Structures are given as structure tokens and as C-alpha cells.
Amino acid sequence: MAEPTPTEGETSDFVRELSRDLSPVERIARLRTGVVRVLALWAGVSLVAIAVKGVTGDVSDPARMLGGFGAILAGLSLVGVGGLVAALSTSVPGRESTARVASGLVAFGLLLAMGLGAVLLRADPSAAVAGTFRSDMMCLTLAAIVAVLPSLGALLYVVRAAPARPVPTLWGVGLGCVALAAFTVQLGCMDPAFRHLLVSHALAPAIGSAVFLAPLWLGFRRLRQA
Amino acid sequence: MSAAEERQAREERWRTSMAAAQDGDAKAYESLLQELLPEIRSLVRRRLPDEAAVEDIVQNTLLAIHRSRHTYRSERPFGPWMRAVARNAFLDHVRVRSRRVEREVPLDAVPEPADDPAPMLERVGLSPELERALAELPAIQLRGLSVAEAAVKAGVSMSAVKVRAHRGYRALRARLEGVEGFRDG
């Protein structure tokens, strides 16, 4: 049996029906504004975290900043901003080219943090110490805490927008926000161990985005229904 | 007027109409959607050789434009926004279709709903069972609406309304088959 297909005339009726009782809509904020709002949230939470935890001396050490430590920081910042921009732009129709550029930034950032970062840390004698599981968990937990508010901010934007594929978009939200949070955590992290920096900092966005996906998806569905 | 100038003028017209539609101007919205119809049809036809499915996707695209009209920013060109919405609606259609193609039994025609079915139901004495069965149905209720009205109300295309109505009739029939006094037809 053939599927019922509407005719062109029926489509015109459909258009009339769509236009009837049309109500005004509140336009979504500019993409740039959305990104800046989330970054502001991240900056606010980061200031509190840094005020509580302090800043590691590695930040003012040129040798560390030009080595694996710095490469991971640079990589995380690219993954953070790129992931966030990619996620928000995929939720706005017509911004696909922005999303593509931002995804390129994410790929480059991951390469920088996990590839170059690992190579440079291997050659860094100060990283040749045994890290502890406790400090791994501490940094990952703190990154998750710092990422919560920015993720919520980004989620609100995505819910208001029209993402074509919500799951990859929400995964991008988690990736970007956890990367930004891992950046903040690394500024205050006193553990210089190779394994710790790689697992709890460079890999934090990958781990965090997987953990954040389910709650973000649930939040998305709930807010969409509301 | 050159082709480029014509395109620019059309883009400007679309942009202005959409901005007006976002402020609630139904007339501008209707004329914009009517003007977009040939453009959307040609976009769909370029991607889909199945002529029978074209109008269905066109309606899904119109719905997608309607639902995401708040995401358009008038400082940006309208064409790329509309084409992105159309592309997403098309991909959605392909995904949904491939998922349901094996389990769907569609309906060729939906009968017009009865003006007021209540007296008839009382007459045949099935009211409580029928009401219970109807309450359990997930199908949308036409309730005297035209298919186009029901489609817009439910946020689906007209063929989706027909398919859902058919599913509803089938489910209703299945539920009532065990009820004493129910006569087929």
C-alpha cells in the first residue's frame, strides 16, 4: 500500500494553517553573545576556584610553560573555546561553517594537549614522579564541579535554539566546558607527574564529556518539554 | 535587473518578511512561506528521486522553519538559514523513514470525522468501553479539524497525521474486538 502523500494544494493549505494565529517569538541571542555568557560563567567560577586553591608556581616558570605543562594548557583552552563554539553553532541553523572551524580548533587542541603535551612531558625531568590516584580524582572532581555552571549556561542556549542532532551538540557542550574547567584546575594543580597531567588534565575533556552527556541529555529533554 | 541583483532583492525581501513574521505578522509570514515553496521543492527534488515523498518533506521543512523561526537573526542572510533548516528536515525525514519503513502500514485516505459521534455511541451501548479504549490510544484526535489543522496542531506533516489516524483506528479496532456487542464495520 502506498504511503499517503500530500498534494501541492494541500501544502498551500498547510502554509495558511501555519500562518494563522501566528504569535511573535523572542529571537535567540546572537551566537557570540551566547558564547561570551558561557565564558563569563566559567571565568566567574574559575576565579572562585583559584581564590580557594591558589595558583601553581609552574604558571610563572617559563621552562614549564614552554614544555608539556604549557602545551596541555594551550590545548585545553583551544578544546574549551572550540568545543563550546562548535556546540552552540551546531544548534543554530546556518552556522555550520562556524561549527566546522571550531571543530578544527578542537582537533588541533586535542592534538596539542594529548600529543605534543605527552611528548614534551616525557622529556621533562620534573614530570618523572609518581602521581597519586587521590590527586587524579581530586582534579577530575574539581573539573567536573567547575564545569557545571558553564554547562548549564550552554545547555540553556542549546535548548532555546534548534539543534539538528542534540546528542553530538550536547557532547560538544560537555567537551568544551570540561576542557575549560580542566584549564582552571591545571592552574592550581600542584602535582607535576606525567601520568597525572595526562590523565586528569589532558584527558579530562574526553572523560568529562562522556560523564556529562547523560545529565545534559536529560536536562535538554526536560527543559524542551517544559 | 541582473540575476545577482534579483537574488539580492529576493534575499532582502525574505529577510524583511521573516523579521516581520518574528514580530507576529501573519500576512508577511504566509507570503514568505508561499514564496519559499518552489525553492524548498527544488531543494528536496535535487536530493530525492522519489517524487511521491517530495510534498511530505516540503511540509516537514515548513514545520521545521516554523518551529525554529526564533533562531533566525535578521542581521544574517536568510537563504543559508532556510537551506540549513531544509537540509536538517530532509535528513530527519530520511532517518525516520528508514526506521519505520518496515513496520508502517499507512493509510490511503482518512475518512472525515463524524459531526458528533456521541449519540451513535450511546445508541450502540459501547460508550464506557469505547471511552476507555479511546483514552488509552496514543493517536492524535482529529475532533472535527481538517487534516491540515490537525497537522499544524500536532506539529507533524499531513501524511503523518493520516498515518497516525490509521494507527489509531487499528489500535481501537484491536481493543474493541474483545468487547461484547462490538460489530465490525
Residue A170 lies in a domain: yes
Taking CA atoms, A203 is separated from A104, A137, A216, B106, B116, in Å, by 18, 13, 20, 49, 64
pLDDT computed for residue A103 by the predictor: 97
> Which are the contacts of B137, defined by CB distance < 8 A and separation ≥ 6?
B168, B171, B172, B175
Quote the cell numbers at residue A28. 535567540
> Which are the contacts of B76, defined by CB distance < 8 A and separation ≥ 6?
A94
Residue A124 lies in a domain: yes
Domain count, chain A: 1
Highest mean pLDDT among A19-23, A77-81, B54-58, B87-91: A77-81
Tens of pLDDT, residues A165-196: 999 999 999 999 999 999 999 999 988 888 99
Residues A124-133 have a mean pLDDT of 78
Torsion of CA B89, B90, B91, B92, to 10 degrees: 50
| Chain A residues touching residue B108 (CB < 8 angstroms) | 1-2, 4
Residue A9 lies in a domain: no
> Which are the contacts of B126, defined by CB distance < 8 A and separation ≥ 6?
B176, B179, B181, B182
Instruction: Give the residue, A226 or A189, on which the prediction is more confident.
Output: A189
Q: How does the average pLDDT of chain A come out, rounded? A: 92
Cβ distance of A10 and B148 shorter than 8 Å = yes
Residue A211 backbone dihedrals phi, psi, to 5 degrees:
-70, -40
CATH architecture of residue range(s) B118-176 = Orthogonal Bundle (1.10)
Residue A3 lies in a domain: no
Q: Which among A16, A23, A28 is the nearest to B71, CB-wise?
A: A28
| Residue A23, pLDDT above cutoff 70 | yes
Cβ distance of B71 and A96 shorter than 8 Å = no
Residue whose C-alpha is closest to residue B21's, from A36, A143, A51, A27: A27
| Residue A92, pLDDT above cutoff 80 | yes
- CA-CA distance, A205 to A76, in Å (whole number)? 8
Residue A131 lies in a domain: yes
Residue A172 lies in a domain: yes
CATH architecture of residue range(s) B3-100 = Orthogonal Bundle (1.10)
pLDDT band at A159 (very low <50, low <70, confident <90, very high): very high
| Residue B121, pLDDT above cutoff 90 | no
Residue A148 lies in a domain: yes
DSSP state at residue A164: S
| Chain A residues touching residue B24 (CB < 8 angstroms) | 22-24
Residue whose C-alpha is closest to residue A138's, from A194, A175, A191, A187: A191
Tens of pLDDT, residues B135-168: 665 555 566 677 777 777 777 777 777 767 767 7
| Residue A14, pLDDT above cutoff 70 | yes
Cβ distance of B52 and A30 shorter than 8 Å = no
Q: Domain-by-domain residue ranges, chain B?
A: 3-100, 118-176
Cβ distance of B84 and A6 shorter than 8 Å = no
Q: Is A92 near chain B, with CB under 8 Å?
A: yes
Q: In terms of residue numbers, what domain contains A68?
A: 30-51+58-225
pLDDT band at A126 (very low <50, low <70, confident <90, very high): confident
